[in-house]
Amino acid sequence: MKIPNRLAEKYRSSKKFWRLKKALYGLKQAGQQWKKCLYQVMTKLDFTCVIANNCLYVLWEHNKITLVVLIYVSNMAIARTGIPRIALFKQNLSKDFEIMDLGT
């Protein structure tokens, strides 16, 4: 990374370091940080991460799986029999992330 031009002159001679406050796309830890952030949001929405596949989240209601979400990088596939619950899930998810709905 490079120091922004307007700050480069000011800090050129100092022995200071720049600390990133969030992982940037393309860095080694970016994927891990994204997965950690996603896990926190999904558990806040009462989803359970499946042990056998940590890219699969399920929502249990009344001892039945009512919603299944499969994650691939930053894409999601959502499965459910009824559309209203999927719409509610997308609405809740959009509170924490900027999402784009590609339809059915």
What separation in angstroms does the CA of 76 have from each of 4, 5, 28? Answer: 35, 38, 22
Domain membership flag for residue 1: no
Average pLDDT over residues 62-77: 89
Domain tally, the chain: 1
What's the whole-model pTM score? Answer: 0.71
Beta bridge partners of 58: 48, 68
Domain membership flag for residue 102: no
Range of the domain at 41: 23-93
pLDDT digits (tens, 9 = 90+) for 5-54: 777 777 666 666 767 776 666 777 888 888 899 999 999 999 999 988 88
Domain membership flag for residue 100: no
Domain membership flag for residue 99: no
Strands (E), the chain: 47-49, 56-61, 64-72, 75-79
In angstroms, the first-to-last Cα distance of the chain is 40
Enclosing H/E stretch for 41: helix 30-44
Structure tokens at 40: 């926190």
